Structure 1
Amino acid sequence: MVRSKRIAAQVAGMEEPIKKRLKRDEEGTNEDLETLQRSLLDQCLCLMPESVLIKPFQGIKVLRQEDTRGYSTSYIADWNRDRTLLFVSSVQLLCEVAIKQNARGLVCSRIGDVCDALVRNEHGLVDHLIELSGHSDRFVCFSAGRALSAFFLASRAHVDPRWLDRLTDNALSTNNPQKMSFSLEVIKRVVEWKDCEEHPLEERSGDDRPPASCHVLSVSDPDSLDSSQIKCLCIKALEAKWPSVVSRFDRLLQNESTAVTFLGLWEAIISVKANLSVVDTKPFYAYLDRFVMLLHSRVSPIIWKHLLDLFNEVLCYGSTLALQDLLAEEPCSLAHLVVRSVKDSRLLDALPYRGGSGSFGGGYGDGDRPLLQKVVLLVLKSVAVTVKETRCESSSDSSLGSENEDEDEDMAVIERSIHEVLRQLDNCVKTLLPFHPETPVAQWVVQLFADQDDALVEGMVCCLDVSVGLLQRPNSSAELRRALSPALSFAQFLRTVSHDPDVLLDLLVSNETCFLLYLLRLLKYVRRNWIEFVSSCSGELDDIMSVFIRLRLAIDRLVARALFPYNINPVLRLLEKCEQMYEGNAG
């Protein structure tokens, strides 16, 4: 008994110096990390001793207790919250500074050395950051995810595929929604990354450049500026696990934030802005049909919005599909399903416009206008894609000798279906918003999207293309022709922008909308259907042509000074032709 007490006292006496040593070591590491962060904010690590630079990362494993065999170790997950956040934020800052300097072509040599050591994963950093995905503190988990995505982007082509397998396995190894959300969010940030997104004003600032005393290395390797390789690696790692991830979505709905992360990642992968190849993204077009079925009254408005964003990204009409001669099977299948769901399953009745009641009901008042905008745009895109696909197939059949009567009959069937879909859409919008009962779709579309340039222009392109593609036949519906009248749509648009040609010029110069596509197709329609256009303008022809003429003069001035960013001559020729017809009509 006495001997046991003596041994216990000896052990206690040994533990106390170790605890003190660990505390000193922890305080020293924290000081090193704080010094590292201050130096990184100055864009240079040249003045920091190499031993000080390496120590914080070697400190991922720290002494915890001593026994007869030596020292055991403790990991990041065992640290206190403040120390963990300090370390993780330092990793993120280091990688982000390296990325920014690399994009400019001038990198602090010491920053480059430290990043290279991290990329070699000498300290097992990746596993430690992934381990934090299950941390009890949500902010620690969030910060670790930010650091890991920055690490992957800094590593680019040098990322070990096994790290990504570890990350995707982490999402599926348990039913922990926090771990799944962590992994999906890391990949999402990588996929959404845009190279060279620096704001022009930042380039003029000297505050975020290395000081004159810094030993700077020039980076000339173009591959070092391209994030497409790491994006592809992430997509490939996720592709094999995608069916399993999708199969868990029903359970994810019980955790809304994880479901939102999943849908956001899916949208980011499919988005044309991600600049991923068709081959890489094709596997992620599977399973869309089962998600359309989730648009019902039991699903929250937030999930509705993210589902609609996903579907609208698949049907990227103004930026991609409207320009293609032959449409892919996946967007066409989605468009057909949406059309059928509106026409036969009354999808619009389930729209949770007023806080998830499951029915938009009657009367007016405050409601979820952005949700309504998203569903209207989806229906318009689905209709436009369906019409375009039918015309493409008819043209292909005609080249093989099909009869025009068969083509006209096919278009008549499509027209009846589209007419019913647009009737239900019109009824839905007018039930929710105080539009006059006689306001045609082409007009209220402009009013509905007046606060969103990109959606507004895409909606007008859809209405125009459906009108031109479906309703130019002799027996087409006069009611539907008026509902989608390109003249009424454009007249309302000009009223919205106060007949200011500078607004049209800004939209033409900007790459944020598909206004060039819209204007070209509108002017072609006007040229080919001048009499119909004039009769549909309802006394506003002079105002419309005044805008056209002033726009042409403004473009002429820019072209004369070589200031227009692309070849605008096709638009100029069409404006001149419309002006000639107007002068002939006036005479």
Structure 2
Amino acid sequence: METSYQVLEQLHKKILLGGLLENDSQEYAFYLNLPFSAQDLSTSNFLKWPCVHRGNQASSVSMDATPSPVASIDLKMNFQVSNPRDIMLLQLTVIKMMITKILSKKVEFSIKEKYTDIIEILLKPYELESKLISTFHGSDKLLSHMAAKCLASLLYLQLREKAMVNKTWTAFCLKTLSDYPESNTISYCLWTLTAVIKEILKATCLQRAEILKQFLTSFDFLFEAFYCSVFSQHFENYQDTSLNPKITNFLICFLDLLEILIASRIHLKLYLTCQRIFYLKIFCALDIMTWPIHSLVKKKFIILLKRCLLHKVGEDVLSTSPPPLVEQDPYLDMDLSALGNAFLQAVNLGWLKQLSFSGKPSHFGGSEVQPGNRSLVPDVVTLRASSLVLLKSLEIKVHMCMSANEVKAELQKFMSQLLTFLKQHLQSSLKLHHHCEWLSKIFIEQDDDMLEAAKASLSIYLKLTRAWNEAAKGMTQEKETWDHQTHENGFNPHCIFLFLLKNIGFDATVLLDFLISSETCFLEYFVRYLKLLQGERNNFSNVCKLFDAAELRNGVHIFSIVTSHIEERSSNQATYQPLFCGTNRYALLPLASDSTTSGTNMEQKDTETVKSKQPNLLICIDNTSSPGASQSLVNYDSSEDSEEESVEEECLSNIKQTSLNHQDITKIRETVSVTGEKNQSYLESTASLLDPKESSTLSSFGCEAATNSIASQIVISYKTFKCLKELEKAISRLHRRHLFPYNPSALLKLLKHIDAINKTK
């Protein structure tokens, strides 16, 4: 035993260093030969192993009468006698390393040839694949896992070098899938399948599609029946199902396999049944969210569903990005439609109501919520993914509807269910005050999903607006009804965009980072919204007035915000940070009163402040456009610029706050001189768009508050266009210096047009 372990140790070192193996291939294969089966790992059968030796003498026992090798390997180190398990683990490690070296392009041909000869001997006389498969029946999880890794590498080696699928493996795979759920090796079978497909997708050879098709065809006809049988098992007969590691491991392996199958469809343009089954038969799989299983499995399932709808399957597995949608397969639209319709059908049958949020919430550093407060913390990952899946499914459904009435019915039905669902599961600190606020509340910590949701919401709005305009035929009353419904159903694009800007403190550097980054769809969303803004300038202004009026009604006046910011900066407090992923009371001002952020004393103090210091308010409005904007996210400045250029054009990474110019101050003062009666009627007319329970508060604010609010009615609008103007300047500067990653000419044209429209108003 000691000699066998020493030989394997020396062989491991030589392979690790890339050295040439001098001895005969039969000799090395003899030491690498695995036991007959997993039962041979017992001590009583250990002496029957062909690789076991006594002292310095090689054992005469060999399988298939294979000649015993000559013990001519120089042993220089003394090792303690190891048990059979350690020897087998070392054997598996060495075999895996050999296969990896054969597949590598950096290894010399002579070394590869030697390794290939050893593997061939292990395959033919010693039946390596059969012994690896037999290890799956053992109770040692580490040995079984190492055997699965070796088997996956071996299968891929045969596929790539010989374009053949191992017959022994194929028979085992078919039998295991057919025998489910009685089979005890199903998890290893699925894991090996997944590992082989990953290796094919990561390969650089041009025949990847042909290799994968040959590999998948062998069990493609059986996979649909296996898929349906998995999701027909509810595991009710098991005890402590949520904590059963065997069931959890199997379901995770199965979901991993589904994801890699879908990823292979996207990347290699194959359309086999096993690659499309998740789209076509998703309805039977949705019940998994109600099963008594581990919450990790439920999260993986809903995230897989989300990635399918976003065309991002396999992004965590593969380094290469999926091909553009221009090259999409001919079945994709039909499959996405089937997936979306099935999900909406399940939601219509009460799927959201049955959704449970079991399991402990995740916290940075591994901390947990106190038992008394645990119920207040929702599973935000599942909550966010479910919301995005519903929104994307609704987007697909809306684009299939033809009439405005169908569109209206679908929208109201599903958005009302979503908003009700969110209100039930959100924390009190995240409760909704305006229906359009749900998107920024849910996705505040996940900017890529937030922008995907914003883009889907905008797509729904554009589709419905066209359908509604055709049905209304320009009628004013119908148009007002439609505007009201966009707020009521939480998808008004102007509200969503303003909430986004408020979350980032109207900091143009964050928008610039989004435009430069390839991790989000912000560019696509931003261009679509700017085009919409060109034609809906009046609608945008009305929404801005709603925001400003709500801030005034809550007692959070602009001047008090400016004062608090100045006090914070002067005292050098680090509590306020205009971070996008954080939540601060000034970054997101609700459209309805919140008892947690405003009180009677605060309202009285703010009212007195506005009365006494209104002129100062007019001067300080601009200072609130980007609180803390001096803390730039990225420094785009360069020492190559001349001093004059730096003075002439401010760099976006260090936006300087300046006071309003004379024309802007005059414009604001003229606006303030308007009588309060006109503004009071406006407040009463727009109060209906807010929470009905609190609309009376807005309408009863009085003529005095209405007059004060006129000064702030252009604040949100001004800060928005100022932010867009700063973004335009930064992009232009970077583009002139050839530092922008792509050609922004079209985007700059849009931004300049928006700025021109704003100046003419």
TM-score calculated relative to the size of structure 1: 0.75
Change (3 A) 1:317 1:285: closer
For 2:285, give the aligned amino acid: F
CA distance in 2, matches of 1:157, 1:303: 33
For 1:321 and 1:442, how far apart are their aligned partners in 2?
31
Name the CA distance, whole Å, in 1 between partners of 2:520 and 2:14: 42
Asked if structure 1 preserves the Cα contact closer than 8 Å seen for 2:34 and 2:131, the reply is no
Could you say which residue in structure 2 is the equivalent of 1:19? Answer: none
Q: How far apart are the structure 1 equivalents of 2:525 and 2:450?
A: 11
Q: How many residues are paired up?
A: 500
| Equivalent residue for 1:337, pick from 331, 339, 342 | 342
Pairing partner for 2:13 from 30, 38, 41? 38
Q: Residue 51 of structure 1 corresponds to which residue in structure 2?
A: 24
The equivalent residue for 1:460 is 454
Identity %: 20
- Alignment equivalent of 2:33, drawn from 60, 64, 76: 60
- Of 379, 404, 410, 1:417 maps to 410
Aligned pair 1:237/2:221, yes or no? Answer: no
Quote the offset at 1:363 in angstroms: 11
Q: Is the 8 A contact 2:451 2:520 kept in 1?
A: yes
Which among 348, 351, 358 is matched to residue 352 of structure 2? 348
Match 1:181 to one of 157, 178, 187: 187
Q: Secondary structure at the match of 1:306?
A: helix
Q: 1:118 to 1:244 in 2, by over 3 A?
A: farther
Correspondence list, 1:205-216, <5 A: none
What is the DSSP-based 3-state SS (H/G/I as helix, E as strand, rest coil) of the residue aligned with 2:205? helix
SS of residue matched to 1:139? helix
Higher mean C-alpha deviation, range 378-387 or range 309-318: 309-318
More displaced stretch, 554-563 vs 49-58: 49-58
User: Is 1:554 aligned with 2:558?
Assistant: no
- Aligned mate of 1:91, from 87, 92, 95: 95
Q: Which residue of 1 aligns with 2:171?
A: 166
Counterpart in 1 of 2:521? 514
Cα distance change, pair 509–340 in 1 and its aligned pair in 2 (3 A): same
For residues 49 and 423 of structure 2, the distance between their equivalents in structure 1, rounded to whole angstroms, comes to 72
Residue by residue over 1:120-163, the C-alpha shift from the partner in whole angstroms, topping out at 9 and shown as x without a partner, is: 54453333222222221111111222222333445552352234
2:394 to 355, 366, 383: 383
1:144-190 CA distances to partner (integer Å, 9 max, x unpaired)?
A: 22222333445552352234523522532644554111111122233
Mapped pair 1:489 → 2:496: yes
Q: Paired residue for 1:448?
A: 442
Most deviating of 117-126 and 458-467: 117-126
Matched-pair contact (CA < 8 Å) for 1:501–1:551: yes
Q: 1:462 to 1:233 in 2, by over 3 A?
A: same
- Once the two structures are superposed, residues 455-475 of structure 1 have per-residue CA deviations (whole angstroms, 9 ceiling, x without a partner) of 122111111111111245244
Cα pair distance change 1:195/1:256, threshold 3 Å: closer
Contact (CA 8 Å) 2:440, 2:450: kept in 1 or not? yes
Q: What are the residue-to-residue correspondences of 1:176-575 with 2, within 5 Å?
A: 178-193=184-199, 223=205, 227-249=208-230, 250-251=232-233, 253=235, 255-271=247-263, 275-280=267-272, 281-282=275-276, 285-296=279-290, 298=292, 300-316=294-310, 328-343=333-348, 345-355=349-359, 365-390=376-401, 407=402, 410-433=403-426, 434=428, 439-472=433-466, 473-474=468-469, 475=478, 477-482=482-487, 483-537=490-544, 538=547, 539-575=715-751
Aligned to 1:108: 108
> Displacement, 1:284?
5.2
1:262 CA drift (Å): 0.8
In 2, Cα distance between equivalents of 1:32 and 1:480: 77
Structure 1 position 252, deviation (Å): 7.8
Question: Residue 494 and residue 412 in structure 1: after superposition, are their counterparts in 2 closer, same or farther (change >3 A)?
Answer: same
2:734–2:740: 8 Å Cα contact kept in structure 1? Answer: yes
Whether the aligned pair in 2 keeps the contact of 1:315 and 1:321 (CA below 8 Å) is no
Moved more, 465-474 or 169-178: 169-178
* 1:442–1:485 contact (8 Å) kept in structure 2: yes
For 2:113, give the aligned amino acid.
Answer: D
* TM-score, reference length from structure 2: 0.59
Q: Distance in 2 between matches of 1:516 and 1:550?
A: 17
Larger radius of gyration: 2
The one-letter code of the counterpart of 1:549 is: K
Q: Distance in 2 between matches of 1:528 and 1:57?
A: 78
In structure 1, the gaps of 5 or more residues are 1-22, 198-221, 357-361, 391-406
- Cα distance between partner residues in 1 of 2:26 and 2:739: 50
- In 2, the alpha carbon distance for the partners of 1:347 and 1:488 equals 28
SS at match of 2:107: strand
1:37 deviates by: 3.0
Shift of 1:336: 1.6
Q: 1:422 to 1:306 in 2, by over 3 A?
A: same
Structure 2 distance, partners of 1:116, 1:563, is 50
Letter of the 2:376 counterpart:
G
Partner SS, residue 511 of structure 1? coil
Matched to 2:33, the amino acid is I
1:267 and 1:313 in contact (8 A); partners too: no
Greater CA drift, 484-493 or 543-552: 543-552
Deviation at 1:242, TM superposition (A): 0.4
SS of the residue aligned with 1:107? coil
Structure 2 CA distance, aligned partners of 1:582 and 1:87? 73
Q: Is the 8 A contact 1:170 1:180 kept in 2?
A: no
Task: Tell me, yes or no, if the aligned pair for 2:155 and 2:166 is still in contact at 8 Å.
Answer: no
Q: Does 1:141 align with 2:144?
A: yes
User: Are 1:449 and 1:455, in contact at CA under 8 Å, matched by a contact in 2?
Assistant: yes
Q: Describe the shift of the 1:72–1:192 C-alpha distance in structure 2 as closer, same or farther (beyond 3 A).
A: closer
Deviation at 1:352, TM superposition (A): 1.0
SS in 1 for 2:48: strand
- Mapped to 2, the partners of 1:195 and 1:317 lie a distance apart of 17
Distance change >3 Å, CA 480–CA 232, structure 1 → 2: farther
Q: Secondary structure at the match of 2:731?
A: helix
Cα RMSD between the aligned structures?
A: 3.7
Which whole-Å deviations, capped at 9, do the CAs of 1:525-544 have from their partners, x for residues lacking one?
22232221232233422222
